[in-house]
């Protein structure tokens, strides 16, 4: 019964908070309206999202967010330096295949998004069976080091979150 | 408004302006479409982030209330920017590259732009 009514509890909470953030005020009326959305939308969309991802350690999400935010700041500075001070001929771009240990679709999506947002890398595509992700790296001496960093810095943390 | 607040807001605006400019400059300076993809997806996240932080600081100092719209904008950006980049990359790969131009995926199946997923292989290809 509970499972039918609230198929994705975290999504419901997110939607309520999101509604409050959108209206930018905290009144009882908007909290109630937010709860209506928080229960209604997951019920309507539940058929399209049958299995809820298991999140074992919510605290790790905060840690992951901070790591990624920091990396985005560093990435911006690195990419800006490359664009401004490097001649086009000296930029060594590489395609890097990164084998994945993650299996859940949600985790791979988060990883792909993170790769795109961080230091000089864009995730381009997945292998057809989802076991490997193709990353385009703007400038690196050592493609293997980039691959190992993605695996140890992001994938390892995501594995701890989605398990 | 105290001087310190004005100074901090001004600094954030200048930072965001610089990064926004570098992102746009990279778009015309780099040569290869895949390289060009790097400039706007990254150099502009801090560009927009700076404006949003400046806006939050301004409203906190000016009205004494925390405005969360900026956080929502940031969240939307983080959700949409990687997807846009991914679509552009895939379109580029499908139009301009062959499967042989890319490194091997290291599994039995090729990259999803060129190969079908397991169990759905087309017999005519």
Same domain, A62 and A142: yes
CA-CA distances (angstroms) from residue A14 to A20, A24, A36, A37, A70? 10, 15, 13, 10, 23
CB B12 within 8 A of CB B49: no
> How far does A1 lie from chain B, in Å, by closest CA?
32
What are the tens digits of pLDDT across the range B18-33? 888 888 888 888 888 8
Long-range CB contacts for residues B26-29, cutoff 8 Å, separation at least 24? B26/A79, B26/A83, B29/A83, B29/A88
pLDDT truncated to tens, each residue of chain A (163 aa)? 566 677 777 788 888 888 888 887 788 888 899 889 888 888 888 788 777 777 777 788 888 889 888 888 887 888 888 888 888 778 888 888 888 888 888 888 888 888 888 767 888 888 888 788 888 888 888 888 888 888 888 888 888 887 7
ipTM of this predicted structure: 0.79
Mutation site for B-interface testing, chosen from A11, A22, A80, A112 by largest number of B Cβ within 10 Å? A80
- If asked whether residues A67 and A141 sit together in one domain, one would say yes
**Which residues fall within 8 angstroms of residue A56, CB to CB, at 6 or more apart?**
A160, A161, A162, A163
A31 and A89 part of one domain: no
A125 backbone φψ class: left, alpha, beta (φ>0; ψ -120 to 50): beta
Cβ-nearest to A125 among B82, B108, B113: B113
Q: How many domains does chain A have?
A: 2
Are A40 and A8 part of one and the same domain?
yes
Nearest to B111 among A93, A117, A134 (CB): A134
A62, part of any domain? yes
- Residue numbers of the domain that contains A114: 58-161
pTM comes to 0.82
Whether B94 shows a pLDDT value over 60: the answer reads: yes
Task: With respect to residue A53, please indicate whether it lies within any of the assigned structural domains.
Answer: no
Please indicate, yes or no, whether residues A44 and A77 belong to a single structural domain of this protein.
no
Q: Does A26 touch chain B (CB under 8 A)?
A: no
Per-residue model confidence (pLDDT) at position B121: 63
**B100–chain A Cβ distance below 8 A for any pair:** no
Instruction: Decide if pLDDT at B73 tops 80.
Output: yes
On whether both A24 and A67 belong to a single domain, the answer is: no
Are A38 and A70 in the same domain? no
Do A64 and A7 share a structural domain? no
Q: Which residues of B touch A112 (CB under 8 A)?
A: 82, 86
DSSP A55-73: ---HHHHHHHHHHHHHHHH
Beta strands of A15-159 (E only): which ranges? 94-99, 121-126, 132-137
B42–chain A Cβ distance below 8 A for any pair: yes
Q: What percent of chain B has pLDDT over 70?
A: 92
Domain boundaries, chain B: 3-101
User: Is the domain of A66 the same as that of A113?
Assistant: yes
Cβ-based contacts under 8 A for chains A and B: 140
What integer pLDDT is reported at residue B81 of this predicted model?
83
Query: Looking at residue B125, what is its pLDDT?
Result: 45
A144 assigned to some structural domain: yes
Residues A15 and A88 in one domain: no
* Chain A partners within 8 Å of B37 (Cβ): 122, 136
- pLDDT at position A119: 66
- Domain membership of residue A141 (yes or no) is yes
Residue of A93, A96, A129 lying closest to B34 (CB–CB): A93
Q: What is the mean pLDDT of residues B51-65?
A: 87
Both A136 and A77 in one domain: the answer is yes
pLDDT for residue B89 is more than 50: yes
Contact yes or no for B121/B110 (Cβ under 8 A): no
Question: What span, in angstroms and rounded, lies between the C-alpha atoms of A32 and A151?
Answer: 42
Query: Does the residue A109 lie in any domain?
Result: yes
- Confidence at B123, pLDDT banded by 50, 70, 90: low
Using 50, 70 and 90 to split pLDDT, how confident is the model at B9? Answer: very high
**pLDDT for residue A3:** 67
Kindly indicate the confidence band of residue B13, based on its pLDDT and cuts at 50, 70 and 90. very high
**Does A64 lie in the same domain as A31?**
no
């Amino acid at each position: 019964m509970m499972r039918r009514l609230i198929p994705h509890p975290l999504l419901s909470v997110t939607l309520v908070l999101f509604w409050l953030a959108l209206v930018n005020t905290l009144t009882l009326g908007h909290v109630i309206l937010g709860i209506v959305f928080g229960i209604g939308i997951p019920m309507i969309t539940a058929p399209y999202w049958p299995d809820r991802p298991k999140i074992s350690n919510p605290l790790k999400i905060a840690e992951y967010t901070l790591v990624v935010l920091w990396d985005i700041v560093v990435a911006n500075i690195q990419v800006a330096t490359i664009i401004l001070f490097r001649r086009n001929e000296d930029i060594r771009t590489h395609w890097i295949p990164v084998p994945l240990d993650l299996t859940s679709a949600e985790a791979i999506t988060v990883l792909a998004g993170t790769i795109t947002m961080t230091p000089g890398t864009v995730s381009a595509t997945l292998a057809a069976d989802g076991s490997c992700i193709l990353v385009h790296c703007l400038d690196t001496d050592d493609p293997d080091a980039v691959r190992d960093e993605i695996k140890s810095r992001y994938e390892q943390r995501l594995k701890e979150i989605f398990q | 408004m105290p001087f310190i607040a004005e100074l901090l807001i001004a600094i954030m605006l200048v930072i965001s302006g610089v990064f926004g400019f570098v992102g746009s400059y990279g778009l015309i300076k780099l040569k290869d479409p895949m390289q060009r993809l790097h400039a706007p997806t990254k150099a502009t996240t801090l560009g927009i982030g700076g404006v949003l932080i400046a806006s939050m600081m301004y409203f906190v100092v000016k009205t004494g209330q925390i405005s969360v719209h900026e956080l929502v904008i940031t969240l939307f950006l983080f959700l949409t920017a990687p997807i846009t980049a991914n679509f552009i990359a895939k379109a580029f790969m499908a139009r301009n590259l062959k499967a042989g131009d890319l490194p091997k995926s290291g599994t039995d199946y090729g990259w999803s732009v060129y190969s079908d997923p397991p169990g759905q292989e087309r017999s005519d290809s």
